[in-house]
């Protein structure tokens, strides 16, 4: 297990298209987080899962965003009808309940043109 | 509302000089603070957390509740310390939802 993997690394899409990102956490980690980072900003919390349950969603996560974590393993983040404002780095992180500190993935950079 | 402020976007020092990266927070509860670091072309990683009062790579940070600060310090900067540093506040209790500052880019010149 080499850490948190995210796929793809880069995605360019046209406005209005749907995109889906995947995150594979460290296998024994039961918590999984999604963050978004725009230029000049720190990461902003989007949502998090404990096992397969989505326990919290940020108000940043509009109805166009949906995240899943089937079977408590990998997670997907889908953005429907993308807008230029969705252009950002999408970061995934995982952790184990009771441990402090995340392990981050390398991120997926989305560009909406 | 919780907030983390890193007042310096850029900080440049010479090798061997002391460095201090500032972080101030706003939080109504009992704060739990972290420093994360991102080296060039690497992923974001945890540097240290206030609760463990540890020193990592020569860096220390002390939580000052009176001044609501958690500044990161190192007495003698090294070139390999050049990186982006983010201060983060656990605003989610046991959920560990983090609120990050905007980051400070530290450059250590030879």
The pLDDT tens digits for A34-61 are 999 999 999 999 999 999 999 999 988 8
Any CB–CB contact under 8 A between B27 and chain A?
no
Query: Length of chain A in residues, anyone?
Result: 113
In the three-class reduction of DSSP (H, G, I as helix; E, B as strand; rest coil), residue B53 is classed as: coil
Question: Nearest residue on chain B to A30, judged by CA atoms?
Answer: B95
On average, the pLDDT of chain B sits at 93
Determine, for residues B100 and A43 on separate chains, whether the beta-carbon distance falls below 8 Å: yes
Q: How far apart are CA B70 and CA B65, in angstroms?
A: 9
Which residues in B lie closer than 8 A to residue A91 (C-beta atoms)?
44
Which chain B positions have a beta carbon within 8 Å of A102's beta carbon?
Answer: 46, 96, 98
Query: How confident is the model at residue B93, as a pLDDT?
Result: 78
A40 and B102: CB-CB below 8 Å? yes
What distance in Å separates the CA atoms of residue B102 and residue B110, rounded to the nearest whole number?
A: 26
Yes or no: say if A101 and A95 are a contact pair by the CB < 8 Å rule.
Answer: yes
Looking at the predicted structure, is the pLDDT value of residue B35 above 90?
Answer: yes
d(CA B56, CA B61): 10
- Give the tens place of pLDDT for each residue, A70-87: 988 999 999 999 999 999
CA distance A83 to A105: 24
Confidence of residue A25 (pLDDT cuts 50, 70, 90): very high
In this structure, what token pair is assigned to residue A88? 């950002």
Contact A109, B53 (CB under 8 A): no
Going by pLDDT thresholds of 50, 70 and 90, the confidence category of residue B84 is very high
Smallest CA–CA distance, residue A85 to chain B, in Å, is 18
Q: Shortest CB distance from A105 goes to which of B34, B43, B46?
A: B43
- Please say if the pLDDT value at position A1 is more than 70: no
| Nearest C-alpha neighbor of A18 from the set A112, A90, A92 | A112
Residues contacting A22, CB < 8 A, separation 6+? A6, A7, A74, A75, A76
Q: Which of B44, B95, B99 sits opposite A55 (nearest CB)?
A: B95
């Amino acid at each position: 297990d080499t850490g948190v993997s995210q796929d793809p690394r880069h995605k360019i899409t046209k406005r209005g298209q749907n995109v889906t990102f995947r995150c594979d956490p460290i296998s024994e980690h039961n918590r999984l987080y999604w963050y978004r980072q725009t230029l000049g900003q720190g990461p902003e919390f989007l949502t998090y899962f404990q096992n397969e349950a989505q326990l919290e969603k940020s108000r940043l996560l509009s109805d166009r965003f949906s995240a899943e974590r089937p079977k408590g393993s990998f997670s997907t983040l889908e953005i429907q009808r993308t807008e230029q404002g969705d252009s950002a780095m999408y970061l995934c992180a995982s952790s184990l309940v009771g441990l402090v500190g995340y392990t981050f993935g390398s991120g997926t950079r989305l560009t909406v043109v | 509302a919780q907030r983390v402020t890193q007042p310096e976007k850029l900080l440049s020092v010479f090798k061997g000089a002391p460095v201090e990266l500032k972080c101030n927070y706003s939080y109504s509860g009992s704060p739990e603070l972290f420093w994360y670091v991102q080296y060039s072309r690497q992923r974001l990683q945890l540097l240290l957390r206030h609760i463990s009062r540890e020193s990592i790579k020569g860096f220390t940070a002390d939580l000052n509740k009176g001044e609501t600060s958690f500044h990161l310090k190192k007495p003698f900067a090294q070139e390999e310390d050049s990186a982006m540093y983010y201060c983060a506040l656990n605003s989610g209790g046991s959920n560990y939802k983090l609120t990050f500052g905007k980051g400070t880019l530290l450059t250590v010149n030879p």
